[in-house]
Amino acid sequence: MSFIGQNRAIRRYNMRVIILSLAYAAFLLGAVYGFKHHLVAGPVAWVVAILPALPIVGIFAAIGLYLVEETDEYIRAMTVRQTLWASGFALSIATVWGFLESFELVAHVESYWVSILWFGGLGLGTCANRLSTVGRRS
């Protein structure tokens, strides 16, 4: 991955996300191993179960920090639009699924999937941004 030509805000964002992603992988692998082999119980189990979620929360914070640090108003606006798409997508799917689940029409899905949907929604936001700028570039 090359950071040449990128502004300071995006370099800092990328570094934060890389570090948080590595922490997520380590915490998740450790938690799965610990629970699979019955190495954790009681209050420690709660801590171990929460650890993989913390880097994901950190990535959400990293996006917020990026928006604060980004000085290019156009790039910031495109990033805000992308996150709005992600939020609308994830919350809409979660809401519809929640009602279907409450009427026992679909199986229960673990709530951490909302964040996975949100990250997928970032991709939709990227597509929306690209489509909205087609023909507008000079």
pLDDT tens digits, one per residue of 86-107: 999 999 999 999 999 999 999 9
pLDDT band at 1 (very low <50, low <70, confident <90, very high): very low
In this predicted structure, what is the pLDDT of residue 137?
Answer: 58
Q: Do residues 48 and 34 lie in contact, with contact meaning Cβ atoms separated by under 8 Å?
A: yes
User: Do the beta carbons of residue 84 and residue 118 sit within 8 Å?
Assistant: no
The single residue listed with the structure tokens 């990535």 is 59
- Give pLDDT tens digits for 47-66: 999 999 999 999 999 999 99
Average pLDDT over residues 110-131: 96
pLDDT for 2: 42
Let me know: does 77 contact 67? Beta carbons within 8 Å. no
The whole-number pLDDT of residue 91 equals: 98
Quick one: pLDDT band at residue 133, thresholds 50, 70, 90? confident
